[in-house]
Structure 1
Amino acid sequence: MTSLHTLLKTNVGDGRAPGAVALVARGDRVEVEAVGSADAEGTTPMRRDSIFRIASLTKPVVAAAVMMLVDDGRIALDDPVAPWLPELAAPSVVRTPSSPLDDVVPAARPITVADLLTFRAGYGFPSDFSLPAVVPLFTELRQGPPQPQLVAAPDEWMAALSRIPMLRQPGEAWLYNLCSDIQGVLVARVSGSPLPDFLAERIFEPLGMSDTGFAVPPADLDRFTGYYRAVEGGLELVDAPDGQWSAVPPFPSGGGGLVSTADDWYAFARMLLAEGAAGGRRLLSPESVRQMTTDHLTPAQRAQSTLFLEGQGWGFGGSVDVEAVDPWNVPGRYGWVGGTGTAAHLVPSTGAVTVLLTQLEMSGPTPPGVMREFWRYAADA
């Protein structure tokens, strides 16, 4: 079988990602490889503790934060979100997904905490990004590839969201991404702490995730990778280490704003595998972990979401493999991929964890070949 080192080496350089860090863990056996460089020029070798923009690998972390508030008794899954998010107290919904923005009806029922966690609140991305109710998500809310310094602060962002009609009725359909950003605002308002502070106190510090946050301190910029996009003839720098993640942004994105390392995300995954416990301390209840890692979609909702989901369901903050449709597809596997070239999963039934971090932007929602090769390697390891 091809070694992990060889697999990574064959997928870096020559217009592909400059480097990569991969971690495969099964029980106490942990394999980690770092290959290539942190920059396209090849001047900084990739390291095990290199820091990456993890994009949508932020989503499971923020979902865990919501569930901590559920465990605290501050909110409940069936609670309407309006007391904390009054901007969503009386949302309108376009009459049909293709209707113009002014052809709306009232929401049939309130949006609940569970709606946000399952991505069925009515806001988000369907298969067609050109629909009238989807376009403002890009233009007004800055959804899409992360640009943290360009997004408005939470109160202003929520005010803009309140002026955009929902695409579907609450509970009706799975729509991607936006609900995680709303979850981040919910956590801050319910807890009374800014999202970065809450995550640091309740998740990062207890788990020793010292390199995870919404910005990279100046002292650690030498470990921060560049972020690139493939263009004709090579790579284009999207963000340098001293760029948009060098300061805490106005809007800490619960959908994709975190930076992290392979070992930090592994620490988060181990906590979930231990049913919410770490270092003799319980961060989440076993029931909350079970809710996070269980598919909540109907077969019809899964079937409508093939642009993002490939035979998977959705838990809280990540996908859940429902059936083995590929050699790497393990029923019950929980995790997700990030548009900056990242992927992380865990398998509760086996205790396996896989983390792959690159710095090359994905060209679309379909995972690239290197991720699939990595998952197949991990499945056979």
Structure 2
Amino acid sequence: MPKRPALRTDRLDALARRLDRDAAAGLIAGAQVVVGRRDGVAFEHAAGWRDAAARDPLRPDAVWRIFSMTKPIVSVAAMVLVERGELRLDQPVAELIPAFADLRVAAPGGGTVPAAAAPTVQDLLRHTAGLAYGYLDGGPAGRALARDGFLGADLPLGELVERLAGFPLEHQPGKLWHYSHATEVLGRTVEVATGLGLGAALRALVLDPLGMADTGFLLPERDRARVAEPLPQPPGARPRFFDPCIPRRHESAGGGLVSTAADYARFCRMVLGRGTLEGARVLGPATLALMTADHLGRDTGRASYYPPGPGYGFGLGFAVRVAAGEAPFPGTPGDVFWSGVGGTYFWVDPARDLFAVLMLQSSSAEQRQGYRTLARAMVYAALD
């Protein structure tokens, strides 16, 4: 396989036409795709409407709610602090957040048992801290979070994490990959280590060095007309598409950022650049390599809900491809990806010097996954 296969942008026109057709048919409001290499963007296209109800066309500067694509950015910020000696991967979370001492684990038959190990910063990054999420969990700890009203609480991150520590864990730390509020706790460790609020810390550690000026937790009111909106959502649909121009006390490390396709393309190019973009060094190559290696191995179990999917392990903030086959879409061992529950998606393939960002907004899980696999197939079809 060549190090850098040629990318036929004329073939990517087929993906653009497909997104145009689907937007014209009313299947989606709009979508944006950016494809490129380490040295820059090779292809971009905006299809359909920024706001279908207002018949306002989608423009390249559209702002998207990226939900869980916040997590890789927070993970990179934490690893910047690891490089500086202000965090350690093997550091118990309780050293930074004392409320996480003496944790207990929900027992299947009721009650709790003591945690057999202390969750670490590495556990937060790889979702093995034993925490619940409350959205998709079927276990007692997740149900307790849902009943409590915790999921709807708009609290400063420090208060929210202290409250989370009062719930039992869903699993013993270090034993199972379980999607959870781990990145919220990780964001709090960033706050503790820096003495800054999370938004300010991300700005200083990641966003400003990469020139991601349109990424943040609060969008200025003057930019409201740039916010990409979904089609009208059915009652009770998840996620709820929050208004990014309304201030929130909770700067959610797990899902609160908004961004643009151009900004997130810069983040992807930094990953391709082994921690550096256009001369700005965010991480060292060894640190970036550690983040994009599999940290689960054979001994760590996977919960029944495992969004990395077949053929993928998990690194420090990213799903990591470990097999050439198994996944129902093309890729290369070593490629990394993550997505957002509102429809956003990215992947980075270092072996082929390739990245892609797909932005849309939809409450349909089937639709979101369909466009992700569609984009993968059509982008790789453009490689010679």
- Look up the SS of the partner of 2:205 in the other structure: helix
CA distance in structure 1 between the aligned counterparts of 2:135 and 2:223, rounded to whole angstroms: 39
Match of 1:25 in 2: 36
Match of 2:344 in 1: 342
- Look up the SS of the partner of 1:11 in the other structure: helix
Match of 2:60 in 1: 48
Match of 2:200 in 1: 197
When structure 1 is superposed on structure 2, of 68-77 and 22-31 the one drifting more is 22-31
Deviation at 1:322, TM superposition (A): 1.7
Match of 1:297 in 2: 296
Match of 1:245 in 2: 244
Match of 1:107 in 2: 115
- What amino acid is aligned across from residue 170 of structure 2 in structure 1? L
* Counterpart selection for 1:170 from 173, 177, 180: 173
**Total equivalences in the alignment:** 366
1:221/1:303 Cα in 2 relative to 1: closer, same or farther (>3 Å)? same
- What amino acid is aligned across from residue 145 of structure 2 in structure 1? L
CA distance in structure 2 between the aligned counterparts of 1:358 and 1:217, rounded to whole angstroms: 21
Deviation at 1:67, TM superposition (A): 0.2
- What amino acid is aligned across from residue 229 of structure 2 in structure 1? G
Match of 2:321 in 1: 321
Match of 2:94 in 1: 82
CA distance in structure 2 between the aligned counterparts of 1:170 and 1:277, rounded to whole angstroms: 33
1:200/1:128 Cα in 2 relative to 1: closer, same or farther (>3 Å)? closer
Match of 2:223 in 1: 220
CA distance in structure 2 between the aligned counterparts of 1:128 and 1:341, rounded to whole angstroms: 17
- What amino acid is aligned across from residue 278 of structure 2 in structure 1? G
CA distance in structure 2 between the aligned counterparts of 1:30 and 1:18, rounded to whole angstroms: 24
CA distance in structure 2 between the aligned counterparts of 1:33 and 1:61, rounded to whole angstroms: 24
Deviation at 1:125, TM superposition (A): 4.6
CA contact (8 A) 2:210 2:280 kept: no
Deviation at 1:139, TM superposition (A): 4.1
CA distance in structure 2 between the aligned counterparts of 1:141 and 1:215, rounded to whole angstroms: 24
Output one character per residue of 1:145-166: Cα deviation in whole Å (capped at 9) or x when no partner.
Answer: xx7xx42222321232122100
CA contact (8 A) 2:123 2:129 kept: yes
Query: Going by fraction, where is helix more abundant, 1 or 2?
Result: 2
Output one character per residue of 1:156-214: Cα deviation in whole Å (capped at 9) or x when no partner.
Answer: 21232122100111101001031111111111111100000011112111111111000
CA contact (8 A) 2:343 2:363 kept: yes
Match of 1:370 in 2: 371
Deviation at 1:303, TM superposition (A): 5.0
Deviation at 1:227, TM superposition (A): 4.0
CA distance in structure 1 between the aligned counterparts of 2:361 and 2:44, rounded to whole angstroms: 17
Deviation at 1:38, TM superposition (A): 1.0
- What amino acid is aligned across from residue 109 of structure 2 in structure 1? S
Deviation at 1:130, TM superposition (A): 3.0
Identity rate, percent: 31
CA contact (8 A) 2:134 2:143 kept: no
CA distance in structure 1 between the aligned counterparts of 2:26 and 2:41, rounded to whole angstroms: 33
- Look up the SS of the partner of 2:295 in the other structure: coil
Give the TM-score normalised by structure 1: 0.89
Deviation at 1:10, TM superposition (A): 3.1
CA distance in structure 1 between the aligned counterparts of 2:78 and 2:149, rounded to whole angstroms: 22
Match of 2:155 in 1: 152
1:263 aligns with 2:266: no
Deviation at 1:279, TM superposition (A): 2.9
Match of 1:273 in 2: 272
- Look up the SS of the partner of 1:271 in the other structure: helix
Deviation at 1:344, TM superposition (A): 0.7
- What amino acid is aligned across from residue 259 of structure 2 in structure 1? S
Deviation at 1:305, TM superposition (A): 4.4
CA contact (8 A) 2:66 2:256 kept: yes
Deviation at 1:127, TM superposition (A): 10
Deviation at 1:368, TM superposition (A): 2.2
CA contact (8 A) 1:228 1:361 kept: no
Give the TM-score normalised by structure 2: 0.88
Deviation at 1:55, TM superposition (A): 0.6
CA contact (8 A) 1:22 1:262 kept: yes
CA contact (8 A) 1:302 1:313 kept: no
* Counterpart selection for 1:208 from 180, 192, 211: 211
